[in-house]
Amino acid sequence: METDAKATSVKTYGHVESIPLQDRNATGWDMTATWIGANANNGTWYIGGVIAAAGMYTASTTLIIVGVLSYVFLAMAGLMGYRTGLPAMALTRASFGLRGSFIPSIINVVQFIGWAAANTFIAAISISTIFNSILGWPAYGTAGGNTGLMVGIVIMSMLHLASISLGERSIRMIERVGIVLVIIFVVWESVVVFRNVSLSQILAWQPQAAVRLSSGSVVDILAAFNLAWVTAASDFTRFAKKERSATVMSFLGANIGLFWFAFIGLTATIATAIAMRSFDPNDSDPSTIAVKLGLGTIALLVIVITSTTANAVNLMAAGSALTNMWHHLKLNVSLWIVTLAATLVSFIPLWFANFLTDFTTFLNFIGMFLGPEIAVFLVDYFIVRHGKYDLAEFVKIDGKYWYNGGVNWLAILAWALGLFSYWALGYVAFIQQTIGVTFVAMAIAALSYYLLTLAKGNKAK
């Protein structure tokens, strides 16, 4: 595409590579395994433990509803990747402008480095626990316990560098192997949980009022967690051989991984609270739960492996976004950069009061920035453009997607209105406590963008 543009003496802006259909090699199983692996990890388990503070009924029903809705958006974004062969952030050039796409790209780089760091930190707790068990090092949370955690972060980072060494191919191999270990681990954990605590006890359990979460808070936590993957969907579906693999199998894989691991985190956390006669949301991480349930070192090692499978997807998404901003960077180089950056960020929680506070703050910012962005680029493709993009225009200066100086200010305005709505609705108690603010803010951003583009079109006529 860039070659054709140069041949006609058209000024171009950066390189965008579309994967031709005949060069794609990802099967339906690859897509399913990728998205199961993306969610079947310690971060999803931790989310399940966090929302346990709402009680089993509220947490589980909200988990299903938000998961299905969020991953409908994932399937839609996946379809965009399949039809165009373009990575996620390159696709935002059409809605935000060639230069305006820097905004979603920056958000993606930051959020996926943040997710990689969060998963690394949780996995490092497992490694430090192993060191405590085998070598007698101080456990995390006790005096001198940070040493084992820091060594764990370094070990996890080395595993991540290995997982992204061959780019998309090595990530696919990691997912294929990791998913088998995940299945074995979850079955094992399920047996242990229900051997110690009955389902009726778990359903009847309620958290103390001081730590109880409202349904609206659970919606916003889960929405932020799930929507992150929407902005990475086409980074993987662009390699899919068939449309069904890119959409249906991605939708199913993401939901299977989410429900599976969030439910096991949810039930394990409640089971532990019942067994220990106390509930502390700060102890929702899988390593703490595994130790309390007596699962042993093997379980901790599997937690480490699941972190590697999830972070392979996180790092791929961050690296892809980075290449959209710095066009001369090769993907493998970008992957190394974001992996090293995630390593440094992983140390940040060591200097704060507790990991849960940092994690929920991170989720809040993800929901605020990502929701409106997703609403804008989905409305642009499926409603404003009727599912059609002109790929030749994705690099042309003064072309269709150049807008005003490379920026579509209507998209920026709609995104900003959604962002402001998210913040303002947080002060509306009824919304904040019942349905949450994320999807309402997305609807406002979507409607704003549609009306703004419609008004511009009518004015032009």
CA atoms of 257 and 104, how far apart (whole Å):
26
Q: DSSP assignment, residue 329?
A: S
Q: Please give the pLDDT value at position 29.
A: 87
All residues at 6 or more sequence positions from 31 whose CB lies less than 8 Å from its CB, including other chains: 236, 237, 240, 245, 246, 249, 250, 253
Burial 416-439 (b: 16+ CB within 10 A, else e): ebbbebbeebbeeeeebeebbbbb
What region, left, alpha or beta, does residue 294 occupy, with left being phi > 0 and alpha being psi -120 to 50 degrees?
left
Nearest to 235 by CA among 326, 318, 329: 318
pLDDT of residue 7: 43
DSSP for 292-312, please give it. Answer: HTT--HHHHHHHHHHHHHHHH
Ordered domains of the chain (ranges, CATH): 27-355 (1.10.4160.10)
Distance CA 200, CA 190 (A): 15
Helix (H) or strand (E) holding 104: helix 102-134
Token pair in block for residue 95: 């809605």
pLDDT in tens, the chain (461 residues): 444 444 445 676 666 788 998 989 889 988 998 898 788 777 788 888 889 999 999 999 999 999 999 999 999 999 999 999 999 999 999 999 999 999 999 988 888 888 888 888 878 887 887 787 777 888 777 777 788 888 888 888 887 777 666 555 555 555 556 666 666 766 776 777 677 777 888 888 988 888 899 999 999 999 999 998 999 899 889 999 999 999 999 999 999 989 988 988 898 888 888 877 777 766 666 666 666 666 666 666 767 776 776 677 788 788 888 887 777 777 778 888 888 888 888 888 777 656 667 777 788 888 899 999 999 999 999 999 999 999 999 989 999 999 999 999 999 999 999 999 999 999 999 999 999 999 999 999 999 999 999 988 745 43
What pLDDT, on the 0 to 100 scale, is given for residue 94? 95
Please, is 363 exposed, middle or buried when counting C-beta atoms within 10 Å of its C-beta (0-12, 13-18, 19+)? buried
The pLDDT assigned to 285 comes to 62
pTM: 0.83
pLDDT at residue number 271: 82
Q: Tell me if 235 sits within 8 A of 19, measured CB to CB.
A: no
Q: Read off the DSSP letter of residue 149.
A: H
The pLDDT score that the predictor gives to residue 296 is 60
